[in-house]
């Protein structure tokens, strides 16, 4: 158990393993690779594995990628990691990928198409085996091109017009319907919608769902009560609400396109001396963290972020393993979390 200690300065390669096991590198390669292990004598394989173990051999993924044009890596294209919506999705994705022996390579695009293009290029040049994209716009030439080039894609939270890509989204219709039903049950009849950007599928689908929900509740659909936000941000939400209030339109409740837009409303309430929920009820969407500690705690539609990530990763792995399988999409059920930003109108 003692013997001379061999200190190696360079990280061990396949040749080292082969040499130690007394076989040819090709044999060592086959033995080490579960796929090809059956091709090699069981005893030899054992020897090789033991040798590899003993010197702490780790295959060099770079060399492997160069040879195989694969990488066991997928790219995550995220608009902005500081948006609290995305980290839990990323966690879900990573957990599934890791289990399957894959890694995730995350890039921020900042919603800048040029930057997105460069980042995606950088991912592709690293041979990622697929892309999970959270930046999708309804009209998205880059995604179209990638799809045509055969790049495996999965969308999260978004769809692209005229492109049947696998996607994982929350059921926006159901979520918005819950929000509107909740407000209606409190007695609200004049409900406004601060819609998300209409270049995003989510912005559009939530706005459409809003109108449908009004109809279902037997409420009038006043187009002046829907205002679009340029981004999914607090600042844009505030701006949109200001415009709406300044227009003189009358309403007692707001369905916001997402939580950030809803929080933007809080700023306007403070500016204008309004109190929520007494003067105005608000419902958000997404259930970002810490809403329970807001003033007032925000009623919102909760979507299963982590599960969205999980499903997205599964979809992509499926696509990688069964390239010919028909594209599926996954719709996840949301739930309403009632807090203190909603109350009967007074």
Partner DNA sequence: TTGTAGGCGTTATCAT
Partner DNA sequence: ATGATAACGCCTACAA
Phi, then psi, of 311 in degrees rounded to 5: -65, -40
Per the structure block, which two tokens stand in for 31? 């033995």
Q: Which stretch binds a second copy (CB under 8 A): 32-40, 80-88, 209-217, 278-286?
A: 80-88
| CB atoms closer than 10 angstroms to residue 207 | 21
Task: Establish if 338 lies at the interface with a second copy (CB under 8 A).
Answer: no
The partner in contact with residue 49, picked from DNA, a second copy, none with C-beta cut-offs of 5 to 8 angstroms by kind, is: none
User: In this chain, which of 165, 168, 283, 294 binds a second copy, going by CB under 8 A?
Assistant: 294
Task: Establish if 327 lies at the interface with a second copy (CB under 8 A).
Answer: no
Task: Establish if 263 lies at the interface with DNA (CB under 7 A).
Answer: no
Instruction: Find tokens 């159901």 and name the residue.
Output: 174
| CB atoms closer than 10 angstroms to residue 44 | 16
For residues 203 and 228, is the Cβ–Cβ distance under 8 A? Answer: yes
Sheet strand arrangement including 226-228: 226-228, 191-195, 253-256, 281-286, 299-302, 335-337
Long-range contacts of 39-45 (CB under 8 A, 24+ apart): none
The partner in contact with residue 111, picked from a second copy, DNA, none with C-beta cut-offs of 5 to 8 angstroms by kind, is: none
Q: Closest separation between CB of residue 109 and DNA, Å?
A: 25
| Alpha carbon separation from 72 to 64, 173, 321, 325 (Å, rounded) | 10, 36, 12, 20
- Of 27-66, binders to DNA (CB under 7 A) are 27, 29-30, 32-33, 35-36, 39-41, 43-45, 57, 59-60, 63-64, 66
Q: Closest separation between CB of residue 160 and DNA, Å?
A: 30
Q: Which stretch binds a second copy (CB under 8 A): 79-87, 201-209, 223-231, 323-331?
A: 79-87
Give me the 65-104 binding string for DNA, x by CB under 7 A, dash otherwise: -xxx------------------------------------
Per the structure block, which two tokens stand in for 148? 């045509």
Q: Find, among 126, 159, 123, 157, the residue nearest to 143 by Cα.
A: 159
The partner in contact with residue 36, picked from a second copy, DNA, none with C-beta cut-offs of 5 to 8 angstroms by kind, is: DNA
Whichever of 48 and 291 has its CB closer to DNA, that residue is 48
| Strand pairing category for 335-337 and 103-108 | unpaired
- Distance, in Å, from the CA atom of 173 to the CA atom of 212, rounded to the nearest integer, reads 9
Task: Establish if 88 lies at the interface with a second copy (CB under 8 A).
Answer: yes
Whichever of 36 and 127 has its CB closer to a second copy, that residue is 127
- Distance, in Å, from the CA atom of 51 to the CA atom of 40, rounded to the nearest integer, reads 15
The partner in contact with residue 88, picked from a second copy, DNA, none with C-beta cut-offs of 5 to 8 angstroms by kind, is: a second copy
The partner in contact with residue 283, picked from DNA, a second copy, none with C-beta cut-offs of 5 to 8 angstroms by kind, is: none
Helix (H, G, I), strand (E, B) or coil at 69: coil
Contacts with DNA, residue ranges (CB under 7 A): 10-11, 13-15, 22-27, 29-30, 32-33, 35-36, 39-41, 43-45, 57, 59-60, 63-64, 66-68
């Amino acid at each position: 158990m003692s013997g001379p200690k061999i200190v190696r300065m360079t990280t061990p390669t396949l040749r080292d393993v082969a040499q130690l096991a007394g076989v040819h590198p090709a044999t060592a390669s086959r033995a080490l690779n579960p796929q090809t292990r059956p091709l090699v004598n069981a005893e030899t394989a054992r020897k090789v594995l033991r040798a590899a173990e003993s010197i702490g051999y780790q295959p060099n993924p770079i060399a492997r990628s160069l040879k195989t044009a694969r990488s066991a890596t997928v790219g995550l294209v995220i608009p902005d990691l500081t948006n609290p919506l995305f980290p839990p999705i990323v966690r879900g994705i990573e957990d599934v990928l890791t289990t399957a022996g894959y890694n995730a390579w995350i890039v921020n695009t900042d919603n800048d198409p040029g930057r997105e293009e460069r980042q995606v290029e950088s991912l592709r040049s690293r041979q990622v085996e697929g892309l999970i994209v959270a930046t999708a716009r309804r009209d998205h030439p880059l995604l179209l091109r990638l799809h045509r080039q055969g790049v495996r894609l999965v969308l999260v939270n978004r769809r692209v017009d005229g492109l049947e890509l696998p996607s994982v989204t929350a059921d926006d219709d159901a979520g918005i319907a819950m929000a509107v039903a909740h407000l209606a049950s409190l007695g609200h009849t004049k409900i406004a919608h601060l819609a998300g950007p209409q270049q995003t599928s989510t912005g559009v689908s939530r706005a459409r769902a809003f109108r449908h929900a009004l109809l279902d509740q037997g409420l009038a659909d006043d187009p002046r009560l829907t205002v679009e936000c340029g981004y999914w941000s607090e600042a844009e939400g505030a701006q949109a609400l200001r415009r709406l209030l300044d227009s003189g339109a009358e309403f007692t409740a707001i369905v916001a396109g997402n939580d950030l837009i809803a929080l933007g409303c809080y700023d306007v309430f403070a500016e204008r001396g309004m109190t929520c929920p007494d003067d105005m009820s608000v419902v958000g969407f997404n259930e970002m963290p810490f809403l329970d500690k807001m003033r007032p705690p925000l009623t919102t539609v909760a979507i299963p972020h982590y599960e969205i990530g999980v499903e997205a990763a599964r979809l992509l792995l499926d696509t990688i393993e069964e390239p010919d399988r028909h594209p599926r999409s996954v719709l996840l059920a949301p739930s309403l979390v009632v807090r203190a930003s909603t109350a009967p109108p007074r």
